[in-house]
């Protein structure tokens, strides 16, 4: 579940989208169609396999049953409440993590000693599954909103912090030298060279943090919550409302994909120049 | 071509050392280097690899400080980098997030020009290097030769008195290199900028320079100056195959030959020490 957290992924370069617009678009369209075929096959299998009785319908209802249940939840209004609560939690956590992580990362990256001192510590935090610390958060902050948002902040903070620092630290020294040869120093060097050079790496961190915020959100909502998508999924399972459970899972997956896609396109937009 | 004999740059008994891992003592990159560059002169430095050519250029640029001796520009010791000197690097060192135009404007921003002045000036300089059509392109959309033209334009834009060029054409193909050499001479004649140009190409040195300084292998010293001012070739004649050109070429080759062998020998022994 936390596999995306385990890689700092500072090297994930965005795929080429900038050079020749028309040609790229055509290729992009084809890629787009191809990738949707895979999704269509998956959905079709979800429908057909239980219908044919290859798996127990009770445990894996066909897609249409799930969609039907989803519609029921949506028109009844409770789905929207859960989505609202969940998004509020993950977005607050994510937002706080960015607000703290980016400025702090810039500051730490700017001072080599701070970066060297903190890197190993951060590697530990980054590679410790946030969920493992859930009991600690519950212990200290209880089971309310504070502890839920705190653990989301915690999980999203490390990827942002780590990538921001490495973005600042790994600016091409030649660019710095080139700016220095013009007499540019200190704050101005930071503003005109270091910061713009680090933006793509920072955005990689932002995207990873986004994924982390949703992953952790669902788990926290399965432990002591009265609303939210994680609660919906677990509660449906307790009450043996299996189609409703799958409807919840489907919603989480759609939100996750959409959020990631949004952040990915933002990342691309800010790093078009990196496509060599 | 230059009537004045006024000294622009004065390098006086300059030495620079570097610490190395394998040796207990520091290594002298250059030692006891002294020479003057006249205002408006085109001086070319040639020498075997590792002879400290780039170190010398960094010293004049003010990017490093000498261990002994001093560098004077207009009779005053330099205290650091400044906009009176522009540096062009082999690896272009363009800011990849800025368009060609915005790259050219960089030095002008530092110099405090307003937006309109910057745009005007940048367009004029891009025109001078034949890139008026490419102002809105990003570096990754330009060829190597174009990138180097932008880099030269960026340095010319703020009108430095001195242009320091560190093997600027080494990464370019032969045709591009020749056309850029020609262009540089044209710009030099037009602007009267003092140029210090590093190369390991003897042809390039003879073609471009008024004077060629041949350096020894490490520690780099000036071995000899060769005056390479040649009469303009007949129209349509290949300037690089006139007898006068060949003679100069041969003279420099002879001066360099022993040094190159010595440098290679030095390197072999150092590598062996490193392994041992």
For residue A181, the chain B residue with the least C-alpha distance is B81
The token pair at B3 is 């009537």
- Which residues in chain B touch residue A276, judged by CB atoms under 8 angstroms apart? 140
Alpha carbons B74 and A177: distance in angstroms, whole number: 24
Kindly report, residue by residue over B82-124, the tens digit of the pLDDT. 899 999 998 999 999 999 999 999 999 998 999 999 999 999 9
Categorise residue B34: left if φ over 0, alpha if ψ from -120 to 50, beta otherwise: beta
Alpha carbons B113 and B198: distance in angstroms, whole number: 31
If interface means Cβ-Cβ distance under 8 Å, which residues of chain B face chain A? 61-63, 80-83, 85-87, 89, 91, 93, 95-98, 106-107, 109-110, 138-141, 158
- Which residues in chain B touch residue A179, judged by CB atoms under 8 angstroms apart? 106
Q: Which residue has the tokens 């020490």?
A: B273
pLDDT at position B25 over 90: no
For residue A18, the chain B residue with the least C-alpha distance is B141
Contact A182 B97 (CB under 8 A): no
Average pLDDT rounded to a whole number, residues A89-96: 96
- Which residues in chain B touch residue A199, judged by CB atoms under 8 angstroms apart? 97
For residue B80, the chain A residue with the least C-alpha distance is A183
Kindly report, residue by residue over A11-28, the tens digit of the pLDDT. 333 344 444 556 666 777
Kindly report, residue by residue over A18-60, the tens digit of the pLDDT. 445 566 667 777 888 888 898 999 999 999 999 998 888 889 9
The string of DSSP codes covering A90-120 is HHHHHHHHHHHHHHHHHHHHHSHHHHHHHHH
pLDDT at position B31 over 80: yes
Average pLDDT rounded to a whole number, residues B171-184: 90
Interface-testing mutation among B55, B57, B94, B97, with chain A (most A C-beta atoms within 10 A):
B97
Highest mean pLDDT among A90-99, A124-133, B255-264: A90-99
Measured CA distances, A232 to A1, A61, A247 (Å): 19, 17, 9
pLDDT at position A2 over 70: no
Q: Which pLDDT belongs to residue A6?
A: 38
What is the SS3 assignment for A88? Answer: helix
Alpha carbons A74 and B15: distance in angstroms, whole number: 78
Measured CA distances, B82 to A183, A271, B102, B110, B163 (Å): 5, 31, 20, 10, 12
Kindly report, residue by residue over B232-271, the tens digit of the pLDDT. 778 778 888 888 999 999 999 999 988 888 888 888 887 7
Contact B80, B66 (CB under 8 A): no
Q: Which pLDDT belongs to residue A270?
A: 80
Interface-testing mutation among B83, B95, B113, B153, with chain A (most A C-beta atoms within 10 A):
B95
Contact A181 B97 (CB under 8 A): no
Contact B138 A180 (CB under 8 A): no
Contact A273 B106 (CB under 8 A): no
Cis, peptide link before residue A130, omega less than 30° from 0:
no
Alpha carbons B143 and B168: distance in angstroms, whole number: 14
Contact B91 A174 (CB under 8 A): yes
Average pLDDT rounded to a whole number, residues A155-161: 94
- Nearest Cα of chain B lies from the Cα of A171 at a distance, in angstroms, of 11
Contact A261, A246 (CB under 8 A): no
ipTM for the complex shown: 0.86
- The model's pTM is 0.80
Q: Which residue has the tokens 């590093």?
A: B198
For residue B96, the chain A residue with the least C-alpha distance is A273
Kindly report, residue by residue over A200-248, the tens digit of the pLDDT. 999 999 999 999 999 999 999 998 788 999 999 999 999 999 999 999 9
For residue B141, the chain A residue with the least C-alpha distance is A19
């Amino acid at each position: 579940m936390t596999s995306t957290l385990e890689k700092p992924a500072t090297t994930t370069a965005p795929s080429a989208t900038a050079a020749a617009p028309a040609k790229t678009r055509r290729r992009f369209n084809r890629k787009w169609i191809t990738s949707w075929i895979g999704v269509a096959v998956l959905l079709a299998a979800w429908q057909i396999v239980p219908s044919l009785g290859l798996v127990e319908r009770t445990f894996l209802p066909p897609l249409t049953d799930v969609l039907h249940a989803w519609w029921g939840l949506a028109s009844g209004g409770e789905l929207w409440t859960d989505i609202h609560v969940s998004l509020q939690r993950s977005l607050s956590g994510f937002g706080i993590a960015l607000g703290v992580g980016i400025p702090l990362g810039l500051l730490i990256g700017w001072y080599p000693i701070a970066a060297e001192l903190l890197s190993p510590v951060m590697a530990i935090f980054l590679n410790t599954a946030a969920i493992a610390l859930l009991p600690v958060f519950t212990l200290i902050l209880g089971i309310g909103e504070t502890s839920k948002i705190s653990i989301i902040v915690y999980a999203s903070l490390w990827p942002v912090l780590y990538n921001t620092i490495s973005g600042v630290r790994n600016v091409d020294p030649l660019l710095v030298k080139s700016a220095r040869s013009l007499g540019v120093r200190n704050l101005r060097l930071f503003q005109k060279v270091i910061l713009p050079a680090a933006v793509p790496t920072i955005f990689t961190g932002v995207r990873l943090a986004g994924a982390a915020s949703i992953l952790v959100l669902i788990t926290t909502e399965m432990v002591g919550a009265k609303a939210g998508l994680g609660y919906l999924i677990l509660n449906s399972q307790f009450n043996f409302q299996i189609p409703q459970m799958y409807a919840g899972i489907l919603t989480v997956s759609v939100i996750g994909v959409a959020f990631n896609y949004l952040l990915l396109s933002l990342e691309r937009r800010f790093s078009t120049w990196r496509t060599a | 071509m230059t009537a004045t004999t006024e000294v622009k740059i004065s390098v006086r008994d300059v030495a620079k050392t570097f610490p190395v891992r394998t040796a207990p003592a520091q290594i002298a990159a250059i030692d006891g280097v002294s020479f003057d560059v006249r205002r408006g002169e085109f001086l070319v430095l040639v020498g075997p690899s590792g002879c400290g050519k780039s170190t010398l250029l960094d010293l004049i640029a003010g990017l490093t400080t000498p261990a002994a001796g001093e560098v004077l520009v207009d009779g005053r010791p330099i205290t650091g980098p400044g906009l009176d000197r522009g540096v062009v690097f082999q690896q272009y060192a363009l800011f990849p997030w800025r368009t060609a135009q915005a790259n050219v404007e960089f030095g002008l921003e530092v110099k405090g020009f307003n937006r309109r002045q910057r745009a005007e000036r940048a367009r004029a300089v891009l025109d001078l290097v034949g890139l008026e059509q490419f102002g809105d392109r990003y570096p990754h959309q330009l060829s190597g030769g174009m990138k180097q033209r932008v880099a030269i334009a960026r340095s010319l834009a703020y009108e430095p008195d001195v242009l320091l060029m560190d093997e600027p054409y080494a990464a370019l193909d032969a045709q591009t290199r020749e056309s850029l050499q020609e262009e540089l001479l044209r710009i030099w004649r037009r602007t009267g900028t003092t140029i210090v140009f590093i190369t390991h190409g003897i042809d390039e040195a003879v073609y471009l320079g008024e004077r060629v300084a041949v350096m020894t292998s490490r520690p780099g010293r000036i071995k000899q100056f060769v005056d390479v001012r040649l009469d303009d070739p007949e129209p349509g004649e290949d300037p690089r195959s006139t007898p006068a050109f060949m003679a100069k070429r041969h003279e420099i080759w002879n001066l360099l030959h022993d040094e190159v062998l010595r440098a290679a020998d030095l390197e072999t022994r150092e590598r062996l020490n490193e392994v041992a």
